[in-house]
């Protein structure tokens, strides 16, 4: 339990520890690709040491103990005393997961109970590292037969220094001892010493003497560099420490001392998200009042113009209004940016997901991420993890083929999943793409009919895009068997719901045998949007502008009935037609315009009576009294002071589907 007086310190530790754990996971996954990378090993070691230190200060003993054992393993890995292997990395990742679990329990004021089994496993690595050595497969044995290697080459391979195989032992030792002290594999050097000791004492003497001289030089060089780094004023150089055998020349100070760089931490201010929300609400109110002021001034100007009047100060009022309009716009953008976060925070969770699923399914898969610096609203970012996991799981399980199957198809044994983000106008696009087997359209049709999701008559009239949209239906799955990973018919409907909740769109492109691409698009902001103002039966409504593809006047629209359903015929394409007046229960409404909207993979058209142009609006929730109403996403106050409901076209479509079979 964290005492109240330490709570603020704990909250700061919690944020930093979680960031460090994400960094650690990234490092450990990178090590699987490059086990000898000393920079990554050093980074992972430092992160674990930092977590241990912070937890120790707060008395979180279970975290300290777990981090301490993992830190010891990382220390031996970076010193070359233990060879990196998948088995060891699995345990390090397990320790990382356990620390994350401890953090959640500490945050909830729960007692932390040490996982003794995990501690025992970590200790076993330290005591018996040979048990966790990388095991070679039959495929590996074809290429790597250790029986033909000499003892020195075997050692180099064991410690990950295969690039030194073929050199003389003197050259090998010379290269190893010249490495920075923090990266020098002492375990390998000792074992090499033992080998050459037994074979040629004279050679050992020569190498050892050179080794001592080189180490002395390296220590002096490191000490001199350390002094320069730690000097408070670069224009006042310190003396470098001297070894008993040699002295180090003092370096001349630079002619002009450079001011010390400002620390990155000083540029970052952590602010409670509730304060940002409060500021966001105030900006929203300011935008509403700005809109009203614009409307009032516009009315005055029109009246003055019609009556040929002259009012003193009117020109100044118009100038001030223009300035306020610009400032409010800039303020709105600035506040919006405080809510924006890079998608890297989301993307960095998925390499581990792909790695674990690929191992479970015996597949070889590489995840490639692009556009990690793209920023999006924090509220959207936090809700996207679950939908993306569902899509990636499907790519791993259904999309990417096993290595042997890919080889027979002429594909690389390793499948590729790409996760990327980029801006497109006022939208943020997130794409998940794989080079797997693609979606079988005919199989989708067959499963949809079997599950009674759609009728044969309706299915025959659907385009390929509309057929693909069926996979978002609750309970739909093309899997013949339920696996540990997917196939239960839950997941893609969750994806669609999340996307729609944030006024986004989702599209699927697939090619059999080539792969599948899922494209999601979201608005840059969720609180303030542009909307098309419409009327239905003399009642005004707002429709988010991003969901509007096209608007057609009634006299130019071809409306007919197919299988008892109203449809719009547009450029030889049949689009379902929804009369909004009927759905909303509004009588005496005429059809003046038809609005075509893209909802997921499907295009749908909606009828309205009048259009009044677009306007920037602030989305306000309906509140606890009304709760959630299907088809209504909120309300806003327009420039003339009226309260207008915001229509959720996707929700309206869902409301209709509840009453009739698709």
More confident residue, 171 or 78: 78
Average pLDDT over residues 387-405: 91
Confidence of residue 213 (pLDDT cuts 50, 70, 90): low
pLDDT digits (tens, 9 = 90+) for 483-514: 555 544 446 778 887 887 777 788 889 998 89
Asked if the model's pLDDT at residue 339 lies above 80, the reply is: no
The most confident of the ranges 134-138, 306-310, 415-419, 566-570 is 415-419
Q: Which CATH number fits domain 528-659: 3.40.50.150, 2.30.30.40, 2.60.120.380, 2.60.40.10?
A: 2.30.30.40
Residues of the chain with pLDDT > 70: what percent? 80
pLDDT of residue 196: 65
Question: 43-52, 221-230, 330-339, 647-656: which has the minimum mean pLDDT?
Answer: 221-230
Domain locations in the chain? 4-132, 138-229, 273-338, 341-523, 528-659
Asked if the model's pLDDT at residue 5 lies above 60, the reply is: yes
Average pLDDT over residues 538-560: 87
pLDDT digits (tens, 9 = 90+) for 400-427: 999 999 999 999 999 999 999 998 877 8
Please, are residues 222 and 180 in contact by the beta-carbon 8 Å criterion?
Answer: yes
Q: What topology does CATH give the domain 341-523?
A: Heat Shock Protein 90 (3.30.565)
pLDDT of residue 590: 86
Residues of the chain with pLDDT > 90: what percent? 19
pTM: 0.60
pLDDT of residue 480: 54
Asked if the model's pLDDT at residue 363 lies above 60, the reply is: yes
Asked if the model's pLDDT at residue 582 lies above 90, the reply is: no
CB contact set of 434 (below 8 Å; sequence gap of 6+): 395, 399, 400, 415, 416, 417, 418, 515, 516
As a whole number of angstroms, the distance between CA 464 and CA 450 comes to: 18
Asked if the model's pLDDT at residue 142 lies above 90, the reply is: no
pLDDT of residue 245: 37
Please, are residues 21 and 96 in contact by the beta-carbon 8 Å criterion?
Answer: yes
pLDDT of residue 526: 66
By residue count, the chain amounts to: 662
pLDDT of residue 226: 44
Closest CA to 557 of 573, 576, 570, 572: 570
Q: Which CATH number fits domain 4-132: 2.60.40.1930, 3.40.50.300, 3.30.450.20, 1.20.120.160?
A: 1.20.120.160
Cα-flanking dihedrals φ and ψ of residue 433, to 5°?
A: -130, 140
Question: What's the mean per-residue pLDDT of the chain?
Answer: 78
Asked if the model's pLDDT at residue 70 lies above 70, the reply is: yes
C-alpha separations of 298 from 15, 47, 107, 304, 309 in Å = 49, 60, 54, 10, 15
Asked if the model's pLDDT at residue 387 lies above 70, the reply is: yes
List active site positions: 49, 71, 394
Compute the half-sphere exposure of residue 355: CA atoms within 13 Å on the CB side of its CA: 18
């Amino acid at each position: 339990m964290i005492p109240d007086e330490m709570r603020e310190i704990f909250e700061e530790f919690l944020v930093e520890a979680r960031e460090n754990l994400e960094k650690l996971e990234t490092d450990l996954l990178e090590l699987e690709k490059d086990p000898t990378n000393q920079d990554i090993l050093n980074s992972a070691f430092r992160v674990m040491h930092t977590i241990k230190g912070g937890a120790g200060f707060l008395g979180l003993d279970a975290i300290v103990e777990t981090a301490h054992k993992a830190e010891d393993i990382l220390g031996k890995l970076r010193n070359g005393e233990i060879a990196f292997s998948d088995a060891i990395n699995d345990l390090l990742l397990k320790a990382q997961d356990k620390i994350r679990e401890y953090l959640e329990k500490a945050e909830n004021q729960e007692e932390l109970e040490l996982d003794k089994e995990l501690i025992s496993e970590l200790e076993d690595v330290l005591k018996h590292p040979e048990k966790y050595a990388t095991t070679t497969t039959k495929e590996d044995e074809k290429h790597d037969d250790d029986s033909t290697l000499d003892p020195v080459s075997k050692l180099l391979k064991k410690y990950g220094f295969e690039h030194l195989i073929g050199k003389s032992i003197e050259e090998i030792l010379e290269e190893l001892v010249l490495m920075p002290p923090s990266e020098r594999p002492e375990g390998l050097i000792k074992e090499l010493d033992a080998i050459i000791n037994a074979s040629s004492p004279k050679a050992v003497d020569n190498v050892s003497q050179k080794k001592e001289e080189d180490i002395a030089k390296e220590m002096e060089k490191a000490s001199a560099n350390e002094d320069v780094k730690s000097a408070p004023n670069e224009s006042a150089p310190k003396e470098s420490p001297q070894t008993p055998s040699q002295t180090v020349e003092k370096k001349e100070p630079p002619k002009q001392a450079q001011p010390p760089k400002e620390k990155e931490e000083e540029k970052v201010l952590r602010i409670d998200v509730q304060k940002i929300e409060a500021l966001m609400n105030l900006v929203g109110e300011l935008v509403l009042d700005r809109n009203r002021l614009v409307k009032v001034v516009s009315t005055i100007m029109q009246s003055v113009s019609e009556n040929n009047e002259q009012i003193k100060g009117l020109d100044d009022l118009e100038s001030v209004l223009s300035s306020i309009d610009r400032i409010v716009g800039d303020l709105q953008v600035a506040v919006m940016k405080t809510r924006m976060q890079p998608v890297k925070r989301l993307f960095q969770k998925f390499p581990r997901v792909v790695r674990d699923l690929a191992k479970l399914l015996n597949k070889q898969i590489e995840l490639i991420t692009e556009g990690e610096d793209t920023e999006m609203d924090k509220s959207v970012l936090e809700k996207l993890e679950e939908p993306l996991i569902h899509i990636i799981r499907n790519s791993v399980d259904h999309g990417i083929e096993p290595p042997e199957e890919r080889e027979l198809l002429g594909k690389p044994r390793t499948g590729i999943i790409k996760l990327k983000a980029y801006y497109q106008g006022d939208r943020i696009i997130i794409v998940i793409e794989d080079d797997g087997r693609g979606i079988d359209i005919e199989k989708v049709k067959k499963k949809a009919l079997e599950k009674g999701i759609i009728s044969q008559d309706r299915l025959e009239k659907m385009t390929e895009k509309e057929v693909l949209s069926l996979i978002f239906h609750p309970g739909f799955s093309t899997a013949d068997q339920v696996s540990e990973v997917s196939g239960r018919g839950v997941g893609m409907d969750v994806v669609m719901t999340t996307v729609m909740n944030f006024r986004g769109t989702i599209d699927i492109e697939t090619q059999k045998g080539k792969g599948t691409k899922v494209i999601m698009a979201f608005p840059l902001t969720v609180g303030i949007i542009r909307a098309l103002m419409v009327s239905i039966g003399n009642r005004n409504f707002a429709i988010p502008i991003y969901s509007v593809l096209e608007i057609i006047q009634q006299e130019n629209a071809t409306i007919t009935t197919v299988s008892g359903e109203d449809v719009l015929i547009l450029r030889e394409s049949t689009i379902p037609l929804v009369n909004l007046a009927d759905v909303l229960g509004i009588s005496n409404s005429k059809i003046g315009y038809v609005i075509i909207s893209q909802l997921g993979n499907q295009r749908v058209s909606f009828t309205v009576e009048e259009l009044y142009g677009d306007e920037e609006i602030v989305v306000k929730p309906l509140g606890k009294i009304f709760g959630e109403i299907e088809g209504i996403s909120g309300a806003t106050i327009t420039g003339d002071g009226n309260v207008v409901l915001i229509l959720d076209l996707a929700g309206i479509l869902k409301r209709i589907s509840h009453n009739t079979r698709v």
